[in-house]
Amino acid sequence: MNSPIFETVMKVRDYECDAQGHVNNANYQHYYEVARHEFLEKHDLNFYKLHNEGIDIVIISIYIRYINSLQGGNEFICTVDSLEKEGIRYFFNQKIIRKSDNKICSEAKAEVVSVVKGHVSLPVILDETFSCYL
């Protein structure tokens, strides 16, 4: 297994869990979003600064596969494993791994596009920043 290109450690908060004590599935998408934003920040791409410059990185689809449940208090690693590019679309391949036993809890593939001044555009800023990963 290849090492991820980015990872961040997080912890499940109690309010993110359902009545059975498992993380509600919608929260996995939030975790993935946090990791992608942190990954952008690591590369000096601030989401809000870009927006103020008229550039938005917009998620247009996400596929999430649930494998093992996270529960309240669990620490986990959220990764960006790799990037792919097809035309104007970028794909972030991600995982959530429970720290206590290194079990993969979820896998995701997030599809994003670049919107410049309200129009879907060539992802120039992403191409410049992420060419080393493609």
pLDDT tens digits for 66-99?
Answer: 999 999 999 999 999 999 999 999 999 999 999 9
Give the pLDDT of residue 112: 96
Q: Is the pLDDT of residue 36 over 80?
A: yes
- 6-133 is classed in which CATH architecture? Roll (3.10)
Q: Is the pLDDT of residue 1 over 80?
A: no
pLDDT class for 2, splitting at 50, 70, 90?
A: confident
Given CA atoms 91, 80, 68, 20 in this order, what sign does their dihedral have?
negative
Q: Where do the domains of the chain lie?
A: 6-133
DSSP-derived 3-state class of residue 125: helix
Question: Helix count (H) and strand count (E) of the chain?
Answer: 3, 6
Give the pLDDT of residue 82: 97
